[in-house]
Amino acid sequence: MPSRIPTCPENWDGKILVPFSPEAELSGVGRTLLPGQYLWYRRELVEAPQAGMRLLLHFGAVDQECRVWLNGRLLGGHTGGYTAFTLDATDALVESNVLLVAVRDGTDTNELSRGKQKTKRGGIWYTPQSGIWQRSGRSGCRSAISPPCGSPRRRAQLRARHRAVRI
């Protein structure tokens, strides 16, 4: 994503079924994201903060560049349309939450990997696919860092509590 933060839309066009790209019929959108355009996702999360718990947001794959906010706080971003990534949302968590994801896909107009996608399909090239196109979700985990008894070294423990909830 460029250093300039994209402006969140005031009005929303409709709904999209994740994990289908907006170009796929199953998404319910059926529209191609053009280079330079942003695709915005918005979702309300009812996930109250819990002492000692971390809230992790998992994205299976987002094509091609994205930024993620929770309650107006930038959690992070990712570049690359084929790899999973996870962001820790704990510090931005309140009683009622709004998750925003902005996606930009330059397809064949930038230097990023694009597979066989091209803005003008034909021959071996196929229609671009953008946005969240792999399963995504959230999970809570409890983490603690403490020194073992009688040892100057530190040991990290991570216990995960997984929930199959799509975002």
Taking residues 68-76, report their average pLDDT. 95
Q: What is the DSSP string of the chain?
A: --SSPPPPPSS------TTS-TTSGGGT---PPPTT-EEEEEEEE-----TTEEEEEEES-EESEEEEEETTEEEEEEE-SS--EEEE-GGG--SSEEEEEEEE--GGGSSS--TTB-SS-BTTBB----EE-S-EEEEEEEEEEEPPTT-SS-EEEEEEEEEEEE-
Q: What is the pLDDT of residues 5-47, one digit of tens each?
A: 678 888 888 899 998 888 889 999 988 888 888 889 999 988 8
- CB of 119 closer than 8 Å to CB of 36: no
136 pLDDT more than 60: yes
Mean pLDDT of the chain: 78
Q: What tokens appear for 131 in the block?
A: 């946005």
Q: What is the pTM of this model?
A: 0.75
What's the pLDDT band for 94 if we cut at 50, 70, 90?
very high
Taking residues 67-91, report their average pLDDT. 92
CA atoms of 101 and 136, how far apart (whole Å): 12
Taking residues 52-67, report their average pLDDT. 90
Q: What is the pLDDT of residues 95-116, one digit of tens each?
A: 899 999 999 887 665 666 656 5
**Identity at 119, one-letter amino acid code:** T
CA atoms of 42 and 158, how far apart (whole Å): 30
Percent of the chain residues past pLDDT 70, beyond the cut: 71
CA atoms of 104 and 71, how far apart (whole Å): 21
pLDDT of residue 143: 64
pLDDT of residue 163: 42
